[in-house]
Amino acid sequence: MSRTPLRLIAATTALATALVALPLTALSASAAEPHVDNPYAGATQYVNPAWAASVEGAATRADAALATKMRAIKTQPTAVWMDQISAIAGNASGNGLRSHLDQALLQKQAGTPLVVNLVIYDLPGRDCYALASNGELPATDAGLARYKAEYIDPIAAILADAKYQNLRIAATIEPDSLPNLITNISHQPCQQAAPYYRAGVKYALDKLHAIPNVYNYIDAAHSGWLGWDTNSGPAAKLFAEVARTTVAGYASIDGFVANTANTTPLVEPYLPNSSLTVGGNPVRSAKYYEWNFDFDEVDWTAHLYNLLVAEGFPASTGMLIDTSRNGWGGAARPTSVSTSTDLNTYVNQSRVDKRVHRGAWCNPSGAGIGERPQATPSGYAGSHLDAFVWIKPPGESDGASTDIPNNEGKRFDRMCDPTFVAPKLDNQLTGALPDAPLSGQWFEAQFVQLVRNAYPVIGGGTNPTDPTPPSAPTGLTAGTITNTSVALTWTASTDNVGVTGYDIYRGSTLAGSSATTSFTATGLTASTAYSFTVRAKDAAGNVSVPSGALSVTTTGTTTPPGGCKVAYSANTWSTGFTGSVKLTNTSTAPLANWVLSFDFANGQTVQSGWNANWSQTGTKVTAVPVPGSWNATITPGTTVEIGFNGSHSGTNNPPTAFTVSGQPCTIG
Ligand code: BGC
């Protein structure tokens, strides 16, 4: 496994494949339970006894407090990786597929579905951009033939056994493979592997989708790999292209799995808004995020879902997030948003992800176990989550930190070497844990760290309180109401980061901001109804939901005291003209905050104006004084001149229906 966020765009290779989407007709003879939208809903998941035994072993060697935590998670479900042909029958690394499925049948409670998480991971030329999980099959035609005949076919034959028809099998399809074709296609081994990745994934999808109780989830890397628009768009297109090469088309893919074996946080609680500016720059422009909008896996899955649906995937497409190692708890977890005005300091102090770089994928120091496996987790509606799952079994190595000979094809990747200054990580030390065994092997020191740094804390304990958006302001009320302004007050909002101010909306228009719990909305029209709401903001950029709406009608009459007189003139040429309006206050009282309007009959449009703020809706043109300007109040008997440039399409008759603040004016 590598998790590499290089920002190169995949070269597009032409697909000479017919775009067929045939209905599935050939189901296995004995009907399995129906294929549902979300296999995890209402289901339990398979607990791998071998992983549980590794955890129990670690517990016997740990101090009492740690052992209690370890034992508290040893019954969590983890995925079974078919990482070699020999894994199907069973080998020195673990029991075979049938053995797991037989165990799963024993774990299944009558009447409750059970999901087995299975990882399909043996493509020809596997892990083309890294070395730690290189595989047994070469990126050649012969390698692909073996992948089909000796790997996918036997797995499919076992899964199709009627004995297992009441299990739900959720297959994570080939971690890192298609994502590598997006960002690392310029790397020779990835170029070599590309056609075999496409053909192998298509073959796996076809074979596995034909089994009704199997659910296919395509690996979709993570936010720090594919989040940039230059990567995410091409990735969604590649997923769609591959889907369309399959017999069942889009239907052969039930969903996507993000963060497989990676440690990217579910959420960055102190960096909720990638566009918030600090020191004048958006947070996403910080070195750590390199302009990526997606800081975490909730961002990424929501982003990806929208792209996939736009590419033609059905709305029912579900997302999984591997949360086995993305907790980032422990003493290094921030407990407040940074107050620094230096952007990089702000980001580095605020982020929970403590890796040196988002591309650090191998046994990262500081990581912790994340959310426990859970179906349809609430609170992330935009992400369309089917479940949090543990695909990478916590405690299994990502790669050896030194060269260890083996017969699995795995090699020494310096990204797993803690002494290596990695060019791919901006010339920083990798941050990998020392003394790591080969990928997939039990790495107890890492497991201890993951348990210690779990977030949420294992076994209840005290969780540091993450920030939540401020509460919505309450008690919005109007104080003084005049014919042009309304004084508003409300009750303060709270959160654990600190409310820094409020935005006041008039309808859906931002009317202004306030640092306190009061605001006076000005520039209103007399005898007019308005609706106000208020939202609270905090230092991290969280914004509350709106307060309850308050409807207010301004007072007064629309009559400017006394009256008004208007004189209009225009200079017209082919399609343009300059209009001028002289507005006289013919009353005996000052005319403040006037609103001049008139109608054009020939489709004329006002383009820019002076001495007033001009706007136009359809035929109606409105001019109001620039707040606080010299002509905001017209004293009795005086005239102000305002004007604009406009365009017309041939006929340019003078406007009609001049009014000031709703009151008709005399023309002259
Ligand atoms: C390894 C596999 C292993 C898996 C789960 C991968 O990085 O290459 O051999 O089964 O991790 O630990």
Residue from 48, 84, 121, 172 to probe ligand 1 pocket by mutation (most atoms less than 8 Å from CB): 121
Q: What is the DSSP letter of 593?
A: S
User: Ligand 1 centre from 389 Cα, in Å?
Assistant: 16
- Rounded CA-CA distance 304/293 in Å is 12
Query: What predicted TM-score, i.e. pTM, was given to this entire model?
Result: 0.76
Within this chain, do residues 533 and 589 fall inside the same structural domain, yes or no? no
User: Ligand 1 centre from 71 Cα, in Å?
Assistant: 23
Does 2 fall in a domain?
no
Within this chain, do residues 309 and 385 fall inside the same structural domain, yes or no? yes
Known active-site residue 102: no
**Ligand 1 atom at shortest distance from the alpha carbon of 135:** 8
Domain range spanning residue 612? 564-667
Does 109 fall in a domain?
yes
- The residue whose C-alpha atom lies closest to atom 10 belonging to ligand 1 is 440
- Rounded CA-CA distance 135/318 in Å is 29
User: Ligand 1 centre from 171 Cα, in Å?
Assistant: 15
Does 350 fall in a domain?
yes
- The residue whose C-alpha atom lies closest to atom 9 belonging to ligand 1 is 440
Within this chain, do residues 657 and 524 fall inside the same structural domain, yes or no? no
The string of DSSP letters for 61-94 reads HS-HHHHHHHHHHTTS--PEEE-STHHHHEETTE
Chain mean position to CA 67: 35
What are 364-420's pLDDT values in tens digits?
A: 999 999 999 999 999 999 999 999 999 999 999 999 999 999 999 999 999 999 999
- The residue whose C-alpha atom lies closest to atom 4 belonging to ligand 1 is 440
- Rounded CA-CA distance 319/314 in Å is 12
User: Ligand 1 centre from 440 Cα, in Å?
Assistant: 4
pLDDT of 513: 96
Residue 496, Cβ neighbours under 10 Å: how many?
14
**Ligand 1 atom at shortest distance from the alpha carbon of 84:** 9
* Contact by Cβ (8 Å): 219, 173: yes
Does 80 fall in a domain?
yes
Sheet containing 486-491: give its strands across: 474-481, 486-491, 518-521
Does 6 fall in a domain?
no
Within this chain, do residues 106 and 48 fall inside the same structural domain, yes or no? yes
DSSP-derived 3-state class of residue 310: helix
Within this chain, do residues 146 and 280 fall inside the same structural domain, yes or no? yes
Within this chain, do residues 366 and 490 fall inside the same structural domain, yes or no? no
- The residue whose C-alpha atom lies closest to atom 11 belonging to ligand 1 is 440
**Ligand 1 atom at shortest distance from the alpha carbon of 1:** 7
Mean pLDDT over the full length of the chain:
92
**Ligand 1 atom at shortest distance from the alpha carbon of 408:** 9
**Ligand 1 atom at shortest distance from the alpha carbon of 393:** 12
User: Ligand 1 centre from 388 Cα, in Å?
Assistant: 19
In the block, residue with structure tokens 């200079």? 571
* Contact by Cβ (8 Å): 58, 71: no
Q: For the chain, how big is the Rg over CA atoms in Å? A: 32
Does 317 fall in a domain?
yes
pLDDT of 28: 38
Within this chain, do residues 53 and 196 fall inside the same structural domain, yes or no? yes
Within this chain, do residues 179 and 221 fall inside the same structural domain, yes or no? yes
- Rounded CA-CA distance 533/488 in Å is 10
Within this chain, do residues 209 and 321 fall inside the same structural domain, yes or no? yes
- The residue whose C-alpha atom lies closest to atom 5 belonging to ligand 1 is 440
In the block, residue with structure tokens 């102090």? 349
Does 580 fall in a domain?
yes
Ligand 1 first shell, C-beta below 6 A: 1, 81, 83, 133, 261, 392-393, 396, 398, 439-440
Within this chain, do residues 444 and 581 fall inside the same structural domain, yes or no? no
* Contact by Cβ (8 Å): 108, 167: yes
**Ligand 1 atom at shortest distance from the alpha carbon of 397:** 12
User: Ligand 1 centre from 438 Cα, in Å?
Assistant: 9
- The residue whose C-alpha atom lies closest to atom 3 belonging to ligand 1 is 440
Q: What is the DSSP letter of 9?
A: P
User: Ligand 1 centre from 390 Cα, in Å?
Assistant: 13
Nearest to 242 by CA among 196, 211, 210: 196
- The residue whose C-alpha atom lies closest to atom 2 belonging to ligand 1 is 440
pLDDT of 557: 63
CATH number, domain with residue 495: 2.60.40.10
User: Ligand 1 centre from 198 Cα, in Å?
Assistant: 21
What's the total number of domains in the chain?
3
Cα separations in angstroms, 257 against 176, 262, 555: 11, 11, 58
Catalytic residue among 176, 254, 413, 538: 176
- The residue whose C-alpha atom lies closest to atom 8 belonging to ligand 1 is 133
pLDDT of 162: 97
pLDDT of 459: 87
Residue from 406, 439, 442 to probe ligand 1 pocket by mutation (most atoms less than 8 Å from CB): 439
**Ligand 1 atom at shortest distance from the alpha carbon of 133:** 8
Within this chain, do residues 491 and 438 fall inside the same structural domain, yes or no? no
What are 241-286's pLDDT values in tens digits?
A: 999 999 999 999 999 999 999 999 999 999 999 989 999 999 999 9
Residue from 48, 83, 126, 151 to probe ligand 1 pocket by mutation (most atoms less than 8 Å from CB): 83
Does 595 fall in a domain?
yes
Residue from 4, 81, 122, 412 to probe ligand 1 pocket by mutation (most atoms less than 8 Å from CB): 81
Final residue belonging to a domain, choices 553, 579, 609: 553
* Alpha helices in 210-328, H assignment, sequence order: 223-226, 229-245, 297-311
Which regions in the chain score pLDDT beneath 50?
A: 3-31, 561
Final residue belonging to a domain, choices 527, 553, 579: 553
CATH number, domain with residue 642: 2.60.40.290
CATH number, domain with residue 202: 3.20.20.40
pLDDT of 77: 98
| Torsions phi, psi for 157 (to 5 deg) | -65, -40
* Contact by Cβ (8 Å): 33, 211: no
User: Ligand 1 centre from 190 Cα, in Å?
Assistant: 19
Within this chain, do residues 546 and 568 fall inside the same structural domain, yes or no? no
pLDDT of 664: 82
User: Ligand 1 centre from 83 Cα, in Å?
Assistant: 7
**Ligand 1 atom at shortest distance from the alpha carbon of 398:** 7
Final residue belonging to a domain, choices 517, 534, 553: 553
